[in-house]
Amino acid sequence: DQQVKQNSPSLSVQEGRISILNCDYTNSMFDYFLWYKKYPAEGPTFLISISSIKDKNEDGRFTVFLNKSAKHLSLHIVPSQPGDSAVYFCAASATGNQFYFGTGTSLTVIP
Amino acid sequence: NAGVTQTPKFQVLKTGQSMTLQCAQDMNHEYMSWYRQDPGMGLRLIHYSVGAGITDQGEVPNGYNVSRSTTEDFPLRLLSAAPSQTSVYFCASSQGAGGGEWWTQYFGPGTRLLVL
């Protein structure tokens, strides 16, 4: 059973607007969360992380929000750029060791 | 720093053959792991190691062996390859327990494996 779910397989956004990627998880013991960007034929590139002691973490254009009560994680990209077009994966772990990944959301930023 | 490196980039095997996928990191990370990615699925953890001499199973360990004799290297062995092991394999490392965001994993470029 999928412990981490990304229910939107794809998302299209105009350049300059906000991209919001969502992630839901089922295990209330998950305390560590990661977001990755992946281009075809490359390894995942780390974007931003958060632990359960925070509800928000920012790094430049990327902000991750964590709602533990709803078991929901979101990644906001503002402003979106064409180079952001990629597949985005969220991942979660209870221990910081064994991470469970979602199936990914393909983001297309339209110039 | 080269980060996490993986070799080979691409490999074709016949059913029953064995091979070792290599992974190395130069960041002095304690934690290393192997994932596989199949079409339409996220990455799934095969095995991981929290330090030299210590390994443990992940979500999908069957058909794979690992060992960790040094901090830098974490090879993944397929003893008898099967078509179901056709996949893209990624190695990752993280600092391990400690300060900062110690759980953040950094990935290698991947190895594409085709088993005929």
In a mutational test of the A interface, the residue from B27, B37, B43, B88 whose CB has the highest number of chain A CBs within 10 Å is B43
Residue-wise pLDDT for B83-106, tens only, equals 999 999 999 999 887 767 888 899
Task: Give the pLDDT of residue B41.
Answer: 85
| Mean pLDDT taken over chain A | 96
The fraction of chain B above a pLDDT of 70, given in percent, is 99
Task: Give the pLDDT of residue B103.
Answer: 83
CA-to-CA dists, residue A9 to A86, B44, B84, B98, angstroms: 12, 18, 24, 35
> Which residues of chain B fall below pLDDT 70?
99
CB-CB under 8 Å, B42 with A102? yes
Task: Give the pLDDT of residue B100.
Answer: 73
> Which residues of chain A fall below pLDDT 50?
none
Task: Give the pLDDT of residue B18.
Answer: 96
Q: Residue A61 is encoded by which pair of tokens? A: 């254009």
The rounded distance, in Å, linking the Cα atoms of B7 and B28 is 19
In a mutational test of the A interface, the residue from B36, B57, B103, B106 whose CB has the highest number of chain A CBs within 10 Å is B103
Nearest to A46 among B45, B58, B104 (CB): B104
Task: Give the pLDDT of residue A97.
Answer: 84
